[in-house]
Homo-oligomer: A and B are copies of this chain.
């Protein structure tokens, strides 16, 4: 079989357009626009790109945004003071602290200082706890995006067996809770799992979120499964690219490595997935595109919840 390709773009566009409509409804009814405050520390190139994309998406949707850019040597106290200030400001609905933070900053205490009601990344223990308990909460953007892809692609969650490879706090564990809430049977696998293919090949929905380029192969995939690739790995070696891609796609990737020094590869071998899966999210162009859209959705949700609209 040839897998149906689940492109993230139309789904991300649909979510952004629904969110823009909500913003416009809120503005008409209550005279304000939700506001997202992004905090970035230092000169990490990837962080600059990510925050830029988030600010851009906010503008596109009608969400007000602020970009607080602090120097790499900012002290813990100064950063904490900014977070506290954003917590108390009534016009700020969402606070996003772009990770990673420089090594001298205690990341956990900064994230725990964010008001849970404004925690649009859903990383605060209170939101993590509420998600597990089944209460309303702000949910981390990437796993929330995976759920949107599944639902909007008519892939049934209830009654399915979902297998997640990778148990990170940002993807694997919150996604397990979301799929469980959707009445899937959920298996969590990781680097210590014995005989991984025997387990993953039982999955109706297989999610790869381990950070190893092309790690999930044909032997891991059940015929007809929905394979969701959350991995974003930078590959700079042409031979590695040859293992993962073929034909026209390979030529494109080789050209990218030649031109820019690297290409982005998911955790799943795309040749194998296309040959064996029923549906497959490509990398790039799949789950990654949902993350920013879900952040916008979370910002509006936070605005509505905390202002009790």
Binding site for B on A (CB under 8 A): 108, 124-130, 132-135, 158-159, 161, 167, 169, 173, 176-177, 180, 183, 185-190, 192-194, 199
| Most chain B CB neighbours (cut-off 10 Å) among A128, A130, A135 | A128
Per the bound structure, the CA–CA distance linking A174 and B125 in Å amounts to: 14
- How far, in Å, is A148 (CB) from chain B's closest CB? 21
Copies held by the complex: 2
Q: B135–A132 contact, CB under 8 A?
A: no
Q: B176–A185 contact, CB under 8 A?
A: no
- How far, in Å, is A272 (CB) from chain B's closest CB? 22
Q: Of B129, B176, B190, B194, which contacts A129 at CB under 8 A?
A: B129
Given contacts A135-B125, A169-B133, A194-B161, contact A185 B189 (CB under 8 A): yes
Closest to A181 in B: B167
- How far, in Å, is A135 (CB) from chain B's closest CB? 7
Q: A173–B132 contact, CB under 8 A?
A: yes
- How far, in Å, is A205 (CB) from chain B's closest CB? 13
Residues of B within 8 A of A129 (CB): 124-130, 132
Per the bound structure, the CA–CA distance linking A189 and B183 in Å amounts to: 9
Per the bound structure, the CA–CA distance linking A124 and B194 in Å amounts to: 34
Q: A158–B125 contact, CB under 8 A?
A: no
Residues of B within 8 A of A161 (CB): 194, 199
Pick 6 A–B contacts, CB within 8 A, sort by A. A127-B129, A128-B130, A129-B129, A129-B130, A173-B180, A185-B192
